Chains A and B, each alone.
Chain A
Amino acid sequence: MYYRVLQGHGMKKYQLGEFEEVVLLTVGILDGDAYGVTIKDEIESRLKREVSVGALQITLRRLESKGHLKSKLGGTEKNRGGRPKLYFVLTAGGKRALLHTRNTRDELWSALPQLTFKLE
């Protein structure tokens, strides 16, 4: 019983929402240059979907509190009104979570009968 709870908890830790996964991957793609505006731009240009600052910020903070991301205050630019940038990088936990998501998805894909797609 105890084991199951632990395992459940462990599993849950790796579970990501769709937008969370997108954000995590984008932070990985940007590789060290990931802060609010660049992440937003990257998602918008790659996925052709609009991202609001609010949705992005709250997801970043949630991922940080879960331990998937880690943040560091960086320098500023003139066009930021003197406010610092907050750079995000993936942690080991974040990478693991991404891998976990991908594996579970692959598992599901491989279990899918070929028939399903032939019919389309």
Chain B
Amino acid sequence: MPGFPLKLLRWFCKPEYLPDIEGDLLQLYYRRTESLGRRRAHLLLIRDVLLLCRPGLVRSSDLLRRNKNLTAMLKHNLTLSFRSFARHKTTFVINVIGLSSGLMCVLLIGLWVKSELAVDQFHKQGSRLYQVMNNLQSQNTITLDITPVPLASALVAEFPEVERAVSTNNFFSWETRDGILSAGDVSIQATGWHAGPDFFKVFSFRLLQGDENRVLTDKNSIVISEAVARKLFSDSDNAIGKSIYWKHPLFEGTFLVSGVFETPPAASSAKFDFLISMEVLLDHDRWAAKWTGDYAQTFVLLKEGADVVQFDAKLKGFLKSKDPGLARFSLFSQPYLSRYLYGNYVNGVTSGGRIDNVRLFSVLALFILLIACINFINLSTAEGSLRMKEIGVKKTMGASQWLMVHRFFVESLVMTLISAVVAIVLVFLITPYMNDLVGRDLLSTIEPQHLIGLGGIVLLTAIIAGAYPAIHLSRFKPVAVLKGRLAESRGQWTFRRSLVVFQFALVVIFLVAIQVIHRQIEFTQTKDLGYNRYNIISFPWKGELYNMWNGLGEGKSNQNFESFMSRVRELPSVLHATNLLGNILEKIPSQSGITWNGLDSERDYEFQSPVVGFDFIETLGIEMREGRTFAKDRHDDYSKVILNESAVKLMGLRDPVGKKIDMNGGSEIVGVVRDFHYGSLHEAVQPLIFRCDPTGRTVMIKIRPGQEQKAIDEIQKVYATFLPGYTFDATFMDDDYLALYASETSMASLSQYLSVVAIIISCLGLFGLAAFAADRRMKEISIRKVFGSTPADVVRILSREFTVPVLIAIVIGLPISFFLAKEWLSGFAERIDLAWWYFVLAAIIALVVSWLAVALKTLKAARVSVLRGLREE
């Protein structure tokens, strides 16, 4: 009789129609076998069966038909689940702790990832919005975000695929961006942008008042944020037409409010309090309108369907075609929506950025959740031996495998839901601290996406954790289990042990990671940098300052600033005071094209060249090797330089003091300093040339030790008399130095938390497994004890079973952690050596912790009275 086609028919056909249809088919089949042969008859039968698959003949689906049973069964299985939780309290608690901490990690990191991914996504035309970036070819390609001001209008005029383009300028990042906005008696500190007229058509910042076509066309217009409007005006709803005075070292003047925009949301990478027309910048800075002056950020909106690759190809040589002197600059476009996450450039090409952390943390969170799921799998399969009777009896009574899967899956789902509730409570408790850490409100509103994400994660966890045990347990053969034969196969035991191996390999990796990250951070803090960063405060001078760097009237006297500096120097709590251009810890200007006697003329070297005022070397306590420092009474100026040892070595100068080098004109070397680490230890020390020009905006002050608070109060008072209305933003240099390693420190604390969670979860799992092993081997233990084993012997025997997987985990985990540690450390120019004992320590901790977890349970088992263990027979 043909088997398969009829089976298929039985599966889908309404049972009441089945007998006679089957009869007809068989009758036809036998008849055809005689006339056409078996093979053709079989094929025709299959065709007939397939043609029988029609709505009228197909039975309603299993799920629908069993609907009434389903609720009853669900209720029954729920009851059973709760009973089994109540019976196995230890397992229950272990599972809830494990799963809820795993879920908590995933949810918290999920919230953070979501907020990172949401940055800038609110721009409606985002998919067509690009920022024009600028690659500067030198020794290495440096990627800048600044472009010439005329670029935007040239792009619109000359590129057919560009719909709109807008230039903005954020008042120069190396100048102070803060200024004072005042209206009537009210003054606030604020920061703003110059922007081209199409700003509100390109970006999706919402205008609440004003006409988007006209708000930025007039030179006297200012568009303010809602927050600024609230602060400045009592009736902020009618701000248009009111006058505001803007005071900033670069320019000041009266502006009339032409519009009010909604304060940029937290999810915007661009932050500004107000906008002023780009024309104002062109008026007060004669370099701004030129192609050679990089004064603007340029954003373009491409037309629908424009080819970006082609656009990029045309952009590449665009600057050169405008001015041959710009041959070293080449432009390219960066999608605006990804500029936040992909903000790093190496050799002019994007190479990750924040996205790396997003990926790293997501992977870590998933691993933690996986460890927790593994616990659940381990414990429930181990528990299987205790459930044999239930499964055997149920299957004998006719329960299908599907029913048993349902039974155990309900249990794991309930477990996951309970854990999810615990995890959600924890998330709500912890989120405020997370908000402080990441500086963003992660859970300001609960959106549908959150609920979908939560539901998805919970379901996924239930499936990962529940699927294997449900299938495994439901496969038990009723005869075997009722006879009491252990359904534990060798493969099963290996599987469970390999899960332990996986967990502990992760634990080992985490343990090594904590040590390496901590040692390296400690190293960055204790290493002798070649200068003393303690008791130094730095702050920007926010008042007017004229120098050749900001394009303001050169040679004008900086009377106000100079008298401020001498007032500060006179304070008794101040040891030294100096000023410089930019920031010694972060970006230092660099210069190439320097020549000197003995230079191999083919090569062009790049030098770090900070521009510092008098007393700089004294303030930082940098050691002099030769010569003298810059001094006011010697009337040192731009023509004097001080080298560091690396620079002397590179130049190959003997007796450098007094020699001249050519650096935009002759410069005399007046001294040599010992090499010092000016930035973070990610970078090695480079050849460096100090230049002297006391017009930098950053003020650095060395305070007499022990008088920090007094000194800050006094300096602030002086600052306030010189610059009323401005905030005094002083920071300690050692804090600033620490902040250079912010991503490493946050990674250190994160890996600390995560490894604590991982260790706890893994140990809980091992503890649970040990409990079951002890239960299962109760008889063996009792017999051993009768023959004279001590509790210590018993513990040793039981622990051996778990020591082997942990040892294997160590063997697997150590090479991986070695490789990862090496990779991470390669990001530092100055780094610790990987000592062997980091790894040994990690291995010992993992081993000891696993022993403790096992011993805790086995010790109890070893103490149980022999009688109780043997009583049953």
Q: Which residues of A are in contact with B by a Cβ distance under 8 Å?
A: 35-37, 40, 52-55, 57-58, 61-62, 73, 76-77, 79-81, 83-86
Contacts and interface: CB of A to CB of B under 8 A. Distances in A.
A98 B22 CA distance: 29
B350 interface: no
Nearest to B19: A83
B1 A81 contact: yes
Contacts, number: 70
Nearest to A55: B51
A36 B29 CA distance: 13
Interface string B21-60: 1111111101100000000000000011001111011000
B20 interface: yes
Contacts of B47: 52
A37 B27 CA distance: 8
Closest 4 CB pairs of A and B: A83-B23, A36-B24, A54-B51, A86-B20
Contacts of A54: 48, 51-54, 57
Contacts of B54: 54, 58
B57 A57 contact: yes
Contacts of A73: 19-20
B48 A53 contact: yes
Contact of A57 (B1, B30, B52): B52
Contacts of B22: 81, 83
B245 interface: no
B493 interface: no
A82 to B, nearest CB: 8
A53 B122 CA distance: 60
B82 interface: no
Contact of B26 (A40, A52, A55, A81): A81
Interface of B: 1, 17, 19-28, 30-31, 47-48, 51-54, 56-57
B20 A77 contact: no
B38 to A, nearest CB: 15
Contacts of B27: 36-37, 77, 79-80
A52 B25 CA distance: 11
Given A81-B1, A86-B20, A62 B56 contact: yes
Contact of B24 (A53, A55, A62): A53
A75 to B, nearest CB: 11
Instruction: Identify the interface centre among A55, A58, A76, A77: most chain B CB within 10 Å of its CB.
Output: A58
Given A73-B20, A83-B23, A61 B56 contact: yes
Contacts of A86: 19-20, 23
19 contacts: A35-B20, A36-B20, A36-B23, A53-B21, A53-B52, A54-B52, A54-B53, A58-B57, A61-B17, A73-B19, A73-B20, A76-B23, A80-B24, A80-B26, A80-B27, A81-B23, A83-B20, A83-B26, A84-B23
Contacts of A40: 24, 28
Given A54-B51, A57-B57, A86-B19, 17 more contacts: A36-B23, A37-B27, A40-B24, A53-B51, A54-B48, A57-B24, A58-B56, A73-B19, A76-B23, A79-B27, A80-B23, A83-B20, A83-B26, A84-B19, A84-B20, A86-B20, A86-B23
Most buried by B among A36, A55, A73: A36
